[in-house]
Amino acid sequence: MLETVRQGEVDWTGDNPFIYLKTDPKGEWSSLSLFFRIALSSHGRGNAILVLERPYEPEANGATRLCITDNRPLAKYLIAEFVKKFGLFRPSAKMLDEIRVIDGASFKTEADYPNRHAELAFNHAQGVEVTMVWEKLGKAFAVDVPPEKSQTTIHEMFSVFQPAAQAHVIVNGKRILGATVERDFFGGRAQSAALAYSETWVRS
């Protein structure tokens, strides 16, 4: 029975869906957005949405770059120890160090499965509202990524992904420019947006 137990510390487990958009299908990513719903971590439970518009332009006037959360220490930990190590975010490490973090947010889920799934975050006192929307959800599949192939290289990562045919992000009523694009994704092809359920990072 012991061989069925994974060795190592569970750093966090929860949901971690994403939406990556391009304004030019052949160009760089124009925005990178993540949602976290953490059920267990050393910083407790919590939620966060991170939106990084024009992530590879250090001086992009007017670009939306924020993290809205209900647990600031958890959000800062996720950015520092995980997001900065995710491949698409690595060139934006300095930007992530300086990103605006809005605490005290409320979160809400809206779902019309499998047509639409939305995660909303808002702090009306600070005038911030963010919505991430995934539409036309496809077939879910499970992955087990060994440490040497994971984004951090020190964690085994488990998750259940459900790709979306299309997705978008809205910040304060304004839709972030861009659309999803088809790309390689765990041995297949999928659009650059998916729900990620029960994502678990086990430190090897």
Map out the domains of the chain as residue ranges.
7-139+163-196
Q: What is the mean pLDDT of the chain?
A: 96
Tokens of residue 204, six digits: 């090897």
> Which position has the token pair 């005038």?
127
pTM to 2 decimal places: 0.96
Other Cβ atoms closer than 10 A to 91: 13
> In angstroms, rounded to a whole number, what is the distance separating the alpha carbons of residues 122 and 49?
10
pLDDT of residue 2: 64
Q: Look at residue 1 and tell me whether its pLDDT is greater than 80.
A: no
Share of the chain above pLDDT 70, in %: 99
pLDDT of residue 60: 83
Torsion of CA 46, 51, 56, 58, to 10 degrees: -90
